[in-house]
Amino acid sequence: MTIPETMRVVEITQPGGPEVLRIGTRPVPRPQQGELLVKVAAAGVNRPDTMQRAGNYPVPPGASDIPGLELAGSIAAIGEGVARWRVGDNVTALVQGGGYAEYCTAPAPQCLPIPKGMIPVEAASLPETFFTVWSNVFDRAAIKPGESFLVQGGSSGIGVAAIQIVKAFGHKVFATAGSAEKCEACVKLGADRAVNYKTEDFVAAVKEATGGKGVDVVLDMVGGDYIDRELKCLADDGRIVIIAFLGGSKATLYLSDILRRRLTVTGSALRPRSVEFKGAIARNLREKVWPLIEAGRIKAVVYKTFPLAEAAKAHELMESSRHIGKIVLTV
């Protein structure tokens, strides 16, 4: 495979709205030790990309300033010390940045084979949300058989992944969403009950649906005043895992409930974690979740695709929250 010297990329010309995204030209990166160079076929669009574009999400040291945290494509070159992949293999990967481009390097442990029967556009929509859900719901919150689960923002990229994965493992799943149409989509994906947070109180709905017991694990990306309400709808020994705070980074908590009912409030960010850490998640996904995808029990939910040159339109859609599922750029 001949690799060109330069490639098209999406650059953030300055911090600002979607219009600051422009097509630029960069040298094609060379894979370092332990890395693969992927010829990108598709790249997923995520909330952190829009935050980075607006100037609110600093790029980790050593990461590309080009946005894009997940991609799918074929291996164009292999760095030293990589054993199990071959040039031409089709992969999907979690990356620290650089996905909105024709080529991108990825640490080999963060790469997974494209699930059988999936096209690159679908595969590119998986890593960021699947790694996040696995790490937070199954590792941090350690959801146990028989426990119930609530995800806020069930129609988001994280939401559609969480509903399907947690349901596939046999748990009772609740979701919140902001319209009747989005709630219906959550139920179709496997939610036992979807709550329209604009017309219903999710605390009351969850308590009612669990016979007053409450839910065991909450995946939260809202933060702010949602945290105290989530504590109210937790079962004894329940856990809240915070992965974002779109509703504000400050919360008021009444600690007596946490003590009396042994509740846990935790959180994590995936991007700054080590390659080893992400590699361990990748192995779990490969072993436990990929077979469910290949059996048709978990699907990619791609709402809309845009060509690389229309990244600004993709960001506009992401920030409008009109979408259900994932937005993907095609290269």
Q: Provide the terminal-to-terminal Cα distance of the chain, rounded to the nearest Å.
A: 17
d(CA 40, CA 75): 9
Mean pLDDT along residues 139-160: 97
d(CA 229, CA 140): 21
- The residues spanned by each domain of the chain are 6-126+271-330, 130-267
The answer to whether the pTM exceeds 0.95 is yes
CATH 3.40.50.970, applies to 130-267: no
Q: Which two tokens stand for residue 57?
A: 């999400």
Fold of the CATH domain 6-126+271-330 = Quinone Oxidoreductase; Chain A, domain 1 (3.90.180)
CA angle 304, 306, 310 (to 5 degrees): 140
Mean pLDDT along residues 179-202: 97
Q: What is residue 56's predicted lDDT score, i.e. its pLDDT?
A: 93
Q: What is residue 238's predicted lDDT score, i.e. its pLDDT?
A: 98
Strand pairing of 264-267 and 70-78?
unpaired
d(CA 71, CA 141): 27
Q: What is residue 87's predicted lDDT score, i.e. its pLDDT?
A: 97
Q: What is the pLDDT of residues 252-288, one digit of tens each?
A: 998 999 999 999 999 999 999 999 999 999 999 999 9
Q: What is the pLDDT of residues 52-67, one digit of tens each?
A: 999 999 898 989 999 9
Residue 36: is its pLDDT beyond 90? yes
Three-class secondary structure of residue 201 per DSSP: coil
**Across the chain, what does the average pLDDT equal?**
97
* Angle of the 157-168 helix axis to the 180-188 helix axis, nearest 10: 30
Amino acid symbol at 275: V
Please give the share of the chain, as a percent, with pLDDT higher than 70. 100
Q: What is the pLDDT of residues 194-205, one digit of tens each?
A: 999 999 999 999
Q: Are 46 and 128 contacting, i.e. CB atoms less than 8 angstroms apart?
A: yes
Q: Is 96 exposed, middle or buried (0-12, 13-18, 19+ CB in 10 A)?
A: buried
Centre a 10 Å sphere on the Cβ of residue 314 and count the other Cβ atoms it contains.
27
Q: What is residue 329's predicted lDDT score, i.e. its pLDDT?
A: 98
CA angle 213, 218, 219 (to 5 degrees): 165
d(CA 137, CA 128): 14
Q: Are 105 and 35 contacting, i.e. CB atoms less than 8 angstroms apart?
A: yes
Q: What is residue 106's predicted lDDT score, i.e. its pLDDT?
A: 98
Strand pairing of 35-45 and 326-330?
antiparallel
Q: What is the pLDDT of residues 71-126, one digit of tens each?
A: 999 999 999 999 999 999 999 999 999 999 999 999 999 999 999 999 999 999 99
- The CA radius of gyration of the chain, in Å to the nearest whole number, is 20
Given pLDDT bands bounded at 50, 70 and 90, which one contains residue 1? Answer: confident
d(CA 25, CA 72): 20
Token pair 């009351």 in the structure block, residue: 204
Residue 215: is its pLDDT beyond 90? yes
Q: What is the pLDDT of residues 289-328, one digit of tens each?
A: 999 999 999 999 999 999 999 999 999 999 999 999 999 9
Q: What is residue 270's predicted lDDT score, i.e. its pLDDT?
A: 93
Amino acid symbol at 122: E
Q: What is residue 79's predicted lDDT score, i.e. its pLDDT?
A: 97
